[in-house]
Amino acid sequence: MRNMVQPILNRDLYVPAIDAWIDPSTPRPRAIITHGHADHARSGHGAVLATPETIAIMKVRYGEDCAGQFQSLPLGERLVMDNAVVSLHPAGHILGSAQVLIEAQGQRALVTGDYKRLPDRTSEAYEKVDCDLMVTEATFGLPVFQHPDPKDEIARLLKSVADQPERCHLVGSYALGKAQRVIALLRDAGWDKPIYLHGAMIRLCELYQELGVPLGELLPATGMPKAAMAGQIVIAPPSAIRDRWSRRFPDPVVCQASGWMSIKQRARQALVELPLVISDHCDWRELNQSVLESGAGTIWVTHGREDALVYWCRQQGLEAEPLALPGLDDDGGEGGE
Amino acid sequence: MKRFADLLELLALTPSRTRKIAALAQYFAEVPDPDRGLALAALTGEMDIRNVKPALLRDTVLAEVDATLFALSYDYVGDLGETIALIWPHHGEGELPRLSEVVDILNRTSKAELPRVIGGMLTQAAIHERWALVKLATGALRIGVSARLAKTALSEMSGVDVQEIEEVWHGLKPPYGELFAWLEGRAARPDIDHTARFHPLMLSNPIEEGDFAKLDPRDFSAEWKWDGIRVQLVLGKDGASLFSRTGDDIAASFPDVVEAAMGRAVLDGELLVGHDFEAKSFNDLQQRLNRKVAQGKQMAELPAFVRVYDMLFDGDEDIRALGWEGRRERLEKWFAKNPQTRLDLSEVLSFGDWDDLGRLRRMGADEHGHEGVMIKLRTAPYVPGRPKGFWFKWKRDPNVVDAVLMYAQRGHGKRSSFYSDYTFGVWKGNEIVPIGKAYFGFTDEELKQLDRWIRANTIQAFGPVREVKKELVFEVAFDSAQKSGRHKSGVALRFPRINRIRWDKPANEAARLEDMDAFVG
């Protein structure tokens, strides 16, 4: 990298060879978007390049005209431009999520966006990509994060439902990605009753189903008589589960599905009675594994606990540095996952 | 161990008090001795596993985990037990033995062997069991369950009044076999020598502005509120004990008081230092408190005494059911019969109406070491806990100073991950010098706003500490100020707390060091 006249990728994730930014936090003439979460996909860009699913998600969330124009690039296809080749590779994070690979000047730079390696039928499976420079997220970049099997977490939820049939279980889940994954996990665990949704979830769940991810029978949570909701499961955004909105349910058990929930003190702060450790990101070991498998000699770490991962990469003899990118949710507040 | 870990997890996460009590009562009813008694000891802070200290646990983990990664993780998680539970890198098969066996193993393993034994347990345990194990071993649960709640659950389980349980509690030891036998009706109430143990104290409530209109001053008596530490002096037939308000025996630090006391009684009062019953500052008392064993020179320079204001037992007779007036009369008679050199009687203040007392409250406080007045209902019996309407404290108004936030540090426990510990300072010429640290006085909502402000205005980070732009002003309340060699400013505040956050006030209008002179006595 050092000897090059022009870098293949700048530290603000600008790609000089094609004059485009990756996941920019302010409106730009040309943007490549890794996935549809709000801290990565914003409205107001001139032209957006993304997977067809991500484009569909952006249009649902921000409106048909949230960017000047859209160009869809299916996963695995190579877009050959004058000075560079761009391709998108599955990141396993949510539906449509992609890692961005830039090939130019004989170098390969990969921006992972958010990614996870555990299997998830609502998202294309993560694919490892060889590269020279890797820009990796580090949302769960501390060795305290060792994500359990999500099937076990769903089993705990179903046990709680069975043990307390008079109560309603309210599962706080981010509306895009997490909600659909929790629903899919519940279905795969045999829960075939209707699942009730907060209004903020409905359109995105429909979109998932339109894009070929079956989620079973979903009903709006509002408008049901209180008594009928005993023993039921409701999916709602984390901000709604402790809100006045939740008072319509009988003695609700406040649950939350998030990687942060492994820390009990976090769960207590959020007044979560049943924390479900279900994450859409890699845990520490998976981050380590991904860095090593990429073959990259240079690692830029962003989005989370950079210090620890940078330290670990350097211990492995890799060049590593933290990137401070604006606008990314640094501490997993509500919806940060 | 699994059952205990499940209980702790439920207690930590269930917000409902009723559900916590129900879960505890169920645990105590179903789990056999001695496991349930040991769980009770852990919940009430009576568990002491002598050789397992946080440092030993840390070393055990650092043998397996990189020190830098551990430090970053601990800073992030904010709770040692949780950090260890989550970071431990080995996962094994099998199950931990029952609670009593775990405690037994930890107690009889030699110091040298403990890291290996604990490491083995951590590997064998599920994550929440590790968490429970570390909390059990260090005795710091931090799950928002008070000893009182555990006793309330015992009451719930047995139908025995919680006050009765409190009454025998301090004479009992883990694993509380006789207590459970009594609660389950299998044995008589444990026979405890009432004059040789700690009796739970009666506490006061702060008086509110609106209370005065509802209270007739003629029904109340008033005394100075002394700025020492609350103690209970037990003069029993086999010697004397001096208990702190939490029931710790601190007699070894104050032999000058304990050995000089004459007569038999259980007395309630304030421990102070000074010659001829003239109280010196709390700072001076602190020097005596810091010593586990008293030293002659210190005892000569800072002799201790107890200013007595109540009596629970007159000789062997329990007089707590008497009204305050009746107890006071017995106390005065007792003093007349038992001449003392290190005990004196707290003076009763005479006053006409509340305004009158309000003026008294502000008088002479700095010279004589009192921090306001106590107001006591003349007919009130001595009731342990914090009963409403009996005793009120009316502190004098605090001093306040506008100071600038300099550094913030992450909190622990419930506030882990929030920047909740603040260092603030005042102007000295063109620089700001620190004068103190505070970590309370604000609401949860304000804490979130402060946390956000700190993250957005950090100029440097040193490990867990962030230095911020010198822009945010706190109105800091404090009880008094003293000269201090430890602070760069030369001033130290006693009991500082954040009174108000002055989002509106520019930093250049904060106080100057010269302004502090007025507070330094």
Question: What is B62-110 written as a DSSP string?
Answer: HTTS-HHHHHHHHHHH--HHHHHHHH-----SS----HHHHHHHHHHS-
Are A63 and A104 found together in one domain? Answer: yes
Taking CB atoms and an 8 Å limit, are A263 and B455 in contact across chains? no
Are A155 and A54 found together in one domain? Answer: no
Q: What is the largest CA-CA distance in chain B?
A: 74
Pick the CATH number of B205-395 from 3.30.470.30, 2.30.30.830, 3.30.1540.10, 3.40.50.300: 3.30.470.30
| CB-closest option in A144, A265, A274 to B73 | A144
Last residue of a domain, one of A276, A311, A332: A276
Within chain B, all domains assigned CATH 2.40.50.140 are found at 399-516
Residues of B in contact with A148 (CB under 8 A): 127
Residues of B in contact with A142 (CB under 8 A): 69, 72-73, 76
Taking CB atoms and an 8 Å limit, are A263 and B69 in contact across chains? no
The reply to whether CATH 1.10.1040.50 applies to domain B399-516 is: no
Are A133 and A190 found together in one domain? Answer: no
Partnered with residue B269 across adjacent β-strands are B231, B308
Sign (positive or negative) of CA dihedral A141, A147, A150, A155? negative
Q: Which of A 318-337 lie inside 8 A of B, CB atoms? A: 330-331
Say how far residue A100 (Cα) sits from the centre of its chain: 15
What integer pLDDT is reported at residue A332 of this predicted model? 45
Q: Please enumerate in sequence order all residues whose Cβ is within 8 A of that of A160, keeping only pairs 6 or more positions apart, or say none.
A: A169, A253, A255, A274
CATH no. for residue A46? 3.60.15.10
What integer pLDDT is reported at residue A336 of this predicted model? 44
- CA–CA gap between residue A131 and residue A293 (Å, rounded): 9
What integer pLDDT is reported at residue B296 of this predicted model? 86
Are A295 and A251 found together in one domain? Answer: no
Nearest-CA distance A334 → chain B (Å): 13
Chain position carrying tokens 């929440």: B128
Taking CB atoms and an 8 Å limit, are B414 and A269 in contact across chains? yes
Residue A119 lies in a domain: yes
What integer pLDDT is reported at residue B336 of this predicted model? 95
* Residue range A191-227, pLDDT digits in tens: 999 999 999 999 999 999 999 999 999 999 988 899 9
| CB-closest option in A142, A144, A273 to B15 | A273
| CB-closest option in A143, A146, A266 to B69 | A143
A264 touches chain B (CB under 8 A): yes
Residue B163's alpha-carbon distances to B27, B200, B246, B385, B471, in angstroms, are 21, 10, 16, 9, 51
Residue A327 lies in a domain: no
- CA–CA gap between residue A281 and residue A328 (Å, rounded): 15
Which of A139, A140, A142 is the mutation pick for testing B, counting most B CBs within 10 A?
A142
Are A127 and A207 found together in one domain? Answer: no
Q: Is residue A330 very low, low, confident or very high in pLDDT (cuts 50, 70, 90)?
A: very low
Residue (of A137, A263, A258) closest to B73 by Cα position? A263
Nearest-CA distance B184 → chain A (Å): 28
Are A288 and A243 found together in one domain? Answer: no
What integer pLDDT is reported at residue B32 of this predicted model? 96
Residue A4 lies in a domain: no
- CA–CA gap between residue A323 and residue B138 (Å, rounded): 39
* Residue range B431-441, pLDDT digits in tens: 999 999 998 88
Q: β-strand A233-236 against A218-220: which pairing, if any?
A: unpaired
A155 touches chain B (CB under 8 A): no
Within chain B, all domains assigned CATH 3.30.470.30 are found at 205-395
Residue (of B455, B73, B85) closest to A311 by Cα position? B73
Listing DSSP states for B179-242 in one string gives: HHHHHTTSSPPP---TTSS--PPB--EEPPTTHHHHS-GGGEEEEEEESSEEEEEEEETTEEEE
Are A39 and A184 found together in one domain? Answer: no
Taking CB atoms and an 8 Å limit, are B69 and A311 in contact across chains? yes
Residue A6 lies in a domain: no
Q: β-strand A233-236 against A169-172: which pairing, if any?
A: parallel
What integer pLDDT is reported at residue B224 of this predicted model? 92
Are A195 and A214 found together in one domain? Answer: yes
Beta carbons of A276 and A157 less than 8 angstroms apart? yes
Residues of B in contact with A307 (CB under 8 A): 72
- Residue numbers of the domain that contains A34: 14-144+281-322
Residues of A in contact with B72 (CB under 8 A): 142, 305, 307-308, 311
Taking CB atoms and an 8 Å limit, are B78 and A265 in contact across chains? yes
- The better pLDDT of the pair A324, A19 is held by A19
What integer pLDDT is reported at residue A333 of this predicted model? 40
Residue A143: is its pLDDT beyond 60?
yes
Residue A130 lies in a domain: yes
Number of domains composing chain A: 2
Q: Is residue A5 very low, low, confident or very high in pLDDT (cuts 50, 70, 90)?
A: low
| CB-closest option in B12, B13, B86 to A146 | B86
Nearest-CA distance A115 → chain B (Å): 21
What integer pLDDT is reported at residue A334 of this predicted model? 33
Q: Indicate the angle between helix axes A199-210 and A52-62, nearest 10 degrees.
A: 150
| Closest residue on chain A to B65 (Cα) | A143
Taking CB atoms and an 8 Å limit, are A307 and B72 in contact across chains? yes
Taking CB atoms and an 8 Å limit, are A143 and B82 in contact across chains? no
Burial A71-90 (b: 16+ CB within 10 A, else e): ebbebeeeeeeeebebbbbb
What integer pLDDT is reported at residue B159 of this predicted model? 94
Taking CB atoms and an 8 Å limit, are A265 and B413 in contact across chains? yes
CATH no. for residue A159? 3.40.50.12650
What integer pLDDT is reported at residue B194 of this predicted model? 66
Are A35 and A100 found together in one domain? Answer: yes
- CA–CA gap between residue B88 and residue B65 (Å, rounded): 8
| Closest residue on chain B to A315 (Cα) | B66
Residue A176's alpha-carbon distances to A48, A97, A172, A183, in angstroms, are 20, 11, 12, 12
Q: Is residue A335 very low, low, confident or very high in pLDDT (cuts 50, 70, 90)?
A: very low
Residue A136's alpha-carbon distances to A103, A141, A282, B76, B443, in angstroms, are 17, 10, 10, 20, 37
ipTM: 0.93
Last residue of a domain, one of A220, A254, A276: A276
Are A101 and A186 found together in one domain? Answer: no
| Closest residue on chain B to A330 (Cα) | B455
Quick one: residue B257, left, alpha or beta (phi over 0 = left, psi -120 to 50 = alpha)? alpha
What integer pLDDT is reported at residue B504 of this predicted model? 83
Beta carbons of A231 and A158 less than 8 angstroms apart? no
Are A126 and A56 found together in one domain? Answer: yes
Last residue of a domain, one of A276, A299, A331: A276
Residue A315 lies in a domain: yes
Are A243 and A295 found together in one domain? Answer: no
List of chain B residues with pLDDT < 50: none
The 8-class DSSP code of residue B396 comes to: P
Chain position carrying tokens 């954040």: B498
Residues of A in contact with B417 (CB under 8 A): 265-266, 269, 331
What integer pLDDT is reported at residue A58 of this predicted model? 97
Q: Which residues of B touch A (CB under 8 A)?
A: 9, 12-15, 65-66, 68-70, 72-73, 76-79, 82-83, 86-87, 89, 127, 131, 144, 413-418, 455
Number of CB pairs, chain A paired with chain B, less than 8 A apart = 75
Q: β-strand B239-244 against B265-273: which pairing, if any?
A: unpaired
